[in-house]
Amino acid sequence: MIYDQDLTWRIFHIFGHLCMWEEFVCLYIIVLDCDLEPNIIDVEQEIENIKGFIKQFSTGLNTEITNISYWIGIIDRYWDSRTQFNETELAAVKAIVNKRLDTDYFRNLNELINYLKQMTKFQIKTLRHIFMTRLYGYSHFASYLSIFHHQQDDTNKSDEDIEKIVYEGTMAKQEAETKLENHNYLNDLNERINNLQKDNDELTSKLKVAQIQLEDNEYKIGILETEINLLQEQRNFNNVRIGDVTDVEWRDDDENNSTQLVKDIKKLNRALNKITEVKRNVKEIKKETVTELFSSLGCNTTIKDKQMKLVLVAALQQKLIRCIIDNAKYYFEHANTGISQVQNISVDNLEAAILFKTEDLIKLITRFEDTHSEIEDFPQITRLLMS
């Protein structure tokens, strides 16, 4: 019936010494009282069956039981007070039930109630059915006993009829035992289903957590890839800015030749890669410095990310390129003093002087073009010279 390793036979051991029919009525009420939300239709049907069993038991005996009506009234009083929420009447009925069970051979009422509170709804309902079958056994036995008494007066009744009565009684007992075994089997299946449901819920919960972690990791990877692409684009852009010079047909061995400039840019790129390389077995990385560098470049990568070293290389290269550009800008902005006379220009300021003289020349040509627009082919020539 109650397939539980801790409670299975303890329950039977507690009420195993009870045998009076009214004691099973009391046990039914105690078990029903532990079911806080019973099916009202089922309970009312059970109560009607119990009252019918008690009446059949009384009428089946030669001597009518005097307290049959009393215990039928106790059952009705309990159910009416419970459904009508009459706490005073309910307490009075429980006191009567407890007093009836207070015998020398039954001293474990509190222990029984404690076990009942630990049982499942299905187990409680099964216990109610067991006590109903006990009462049914009393009524069934009384009916056969009544038949037997009537047949004693009939001297012509054969032994076969008596054997039939015994056989039917045995079959009724076997039927009751079969019902009990079926209850045990159903309860076992119910317990297994509950365990499988718990396992399924646990696996579903773990799967949801893993899915969330996977999505979070994919999101972080996407951010890292975006940052790397942006840094690479910025590096390429800076490289182009460094190499953004005009090919004016210099000699092949001249450092301003476009081919030579491309080689120089590649050489600079290799030098940057070598300088900014972060080795795998590096022992120490200054975390605060790296964090400050990433922050200055608007990079969301942290020191703990797996792609940190790759991003660090790109960030260092961008930092160096910016330093080169800033220094070059500073040079051209502060080297324009004293270049009004060509002979006064120092060797260190020749490049700056050429730049400023070229800018002045472009301005003069543009002005010349604007003031001599009547010459048809001149604008095209000017554009060629300026390009």
Name the average pLDDT for the chain. 75
Contacts of residue 358, Cβ cutoff 8 Å, sequence gap at least 6: none
How confident is the model at residue 309, as a pLDDT? Answer: 76
Q: What percent of the chain has pLDDT over 90?
A: 1
Span 11-70, pLDDT tens digits: 666 666 666 777 778 888 888 888 888 888 888 888 888 887 777 776 666 556 667 788
Whole-number pLDDT of residue 245: 46
What is the tens place of the pLDDT at every residue in 17-33? 666 777 778 888 888 88
Q: Could you please report the per-residue DSSP string of 129-160? A: HHHHHHHHHHHHHHHHHHHHHHHHT-TT--HH
CA distance 146 to 140: 10
- Give 259-278 pLDDT, tens digit per residue: 766 777 888 778 877 777 66
| Neighbouring residues of 134: CB distance < 8 A, sequence distance ≥ 6 | 21, 24
Say what the alpha-carbon torsion angle 333, 338, 341, 347 is, to the nearest 10 degrees. -80
Average confidence (pLDDT) over 279-294: 75
User: pLDDT value at position 145?
Assistant: 62
pLDDT at residue number 24: 78
Q: Is the pLDDT of residue 159 over 70?
A: no
Q: What is the pLDDT of residue 208?
A: 87
More confident residue, 248 or 242: 242
| Segment among 11-15, 138-142, 156-160, 262-266 with least mean pLDDT | 156-160
Q: Which residues are paired to 106 by β-bridges?
A: 103
Average pLDDT over residues 363-372: 81
Q: Which residue has the higher pLDDT, 339 or 317?
A: 317
What pLDDT is stored for residue 99 in this prediction? 82
What is the pLDDT, as a whole number, of residue 324? 85
Question: Quick one: which of 99, 134, 179, 110 has its CA closest to 18?
Answer: 134
- C-alpha neighbours within 13 Å on the C-beta side of residue 14: 18
Structure tokens at 295: 């922050």
pLDDT value of position 13: 66
Assigned token pair, 180: 């009990």
| Domain-wise residue ranges, the chain | 8-157, 258-386
Residue bearing tokens 């507690």: 14
User: What's the confidence (pLDDT) of residue 248?
Assistant: 47
Residue 308: which pLDDT band, with cuts at 50, 70 and 90?
A: confident
Question: pLDDT higher for 369 or 201?
Answer: 201
**φ, ψ for residue 103, nearest 5 deg:** -125, 170
d(CA 133, CA 126): 11
Per DSSP, which regions of 106-249 are E strands?
A: none
Rounded Cα gap, residues 319 and 296, in angstroms: 10
Q: What is the mean pLDDT of residues 205-220?
A: 86
Picking from 9-23, 104-118, 335-349, which range would have the lowest pLDDT averaged per residue? 335-349
Question: How far does CA 279 lie from the centroid of its chain?
Answer: 40
Residue 358 to residues 46, 247, 355, 365, Cα–Cα distance (Å)? 111, 15, 5, 10
Distance CA 113, CA 105 (A): 17
Q: Length of the chain, please?
A: 387
Q: Examine the pLDDT at 164 and tell me if it is beyond 70.
A: yes
Q: Quick one: pLDDT at residue 1?
A: 43
Answer whether residue 175 shows pLDDT above 60: yes
User: What is the C-alpha separation between 57 and 60, in angstroms, rounded?
Assistant: 5
- Closest by CA position to 26, among listed 101, 86, 92, 95: 101
Residue 170 class from Cβ within 10 Å (0-12 exposed, 13-18 middle, 19+ buried)?
A: exposed
Tokens of residue 227, six digits: 């940052």
16 within 8 A of 9, measured Cβ to Cβ: no
pLDDT at 246: 47
Structure confidence by residue, pLDDT tens digits, 180-209:
787 777 777 788 888 888 888 888 888 888
Hey, what are 386's tokens? 């300026």
Structure confidence at residue 367 (pLDDT)? 82
pLDDT band at 253 (very low <50, low <70, confident <90, very high): low
Residue with tokens 């604007």: 370
| 180/174 Cα distance (integer angstroms) | 10
